[in-house]
Amino acid sequence: KINPIFDENDELIENAKHKKENELIAKREKLILEIEKESRRMEEFTEFAELDRMQQYVTDVRQLQKRIQESEEAVQFINKEEELFKWELTKYPELDKLKVNIEPYQKFFNLVLKWQRTEKRWMDGGFLDLNGESMEADVDEFSREIFKTLKFFQMKQKKELQEKRK
């Protein structure tokens, strides 16, 4: 009499397990699509060139960084569920690449925005508020940062050209 109840219970557990496995597979597929979308969005940054839209570019980068963070949290959740099912943990190298590749854009857009604000303060602010030494230090700092950023993007471009030739 009790065996049919055990069998029914086993069947219920198995069905629930399959349902959760299918949900996990769907979460993984959704995350992969989200990461691809984030990658395409980041590729658009190479086209961002209008100086008067710099604030919007900074906002766009921050939004993308937030989505990358959310994707990282989703990876942790998915990996925990994979552990529960004793599956091999899924790796998301594209997400790691995104995290590394977005940083130079974030630095560059913020640097340009900071320069624009500083220049506006110098040009439109009070003349007596200007301090030649601090202005010189600021200009030197901006020059160093622009030079580093320029070198980075030149190396990136060179690397991309080499990969295209292969």
Segments in the chain forming alpha helices (H) = 3-43, 54-84, 93-124, 132-165
Tell me if 148 is assigned to some domain: no
Q: For residue 57, how many other CB atoms are within 10 A of its CB?
A: 22
Direct distance between the N- and C-terminal alpha carbons of the chain, in angstroms, rounded to an integer = 70
| pLDDT for 164 | 84
The residue length of the chain stands at: 166
Segments forming the whole domain that contains residue 92: 3-130
CB-CB contact of 48 with 104 (8 Å): no
Number of domains in the chain: 1
Is the residue at 100 inside a domain?
yes
Angle (CA) 53-54-57 rounded to 5° is 95
Q: Are 90 and 139 in contact (CB under 8 A)?
A: no
Residue 142: inside a domain:
no
Answer yes or no: is 85 within a domain.
Answer: yes
Kindly give the interhelix angle for 54-84 and 93-124, rounded to the nearest 10 degrees.
Answer: 160
The Cα 148–Cα 64 span in angstroms is 23
**Does residue 143 sit within a domain?**
no
In a domain, 164, yes or no: no
- Are the C-beta atoms of 31 and 74 separated by less than 8 Å? yes
Residue 102 confidence (pLDDT): 93
**pLDDT for residue 156:** 85
Residue 49 lies inside a defined structural domain of this protein? yes
For the chain, residues with pLDDT lower than 70 are none
pTM, rounded to two decimals: 0.81
**Predicted pLDDT at 19:** 94
53 found inside a domain: yes
- Tokens representing 166? 């292969």
pLDDT at res. 8: 87
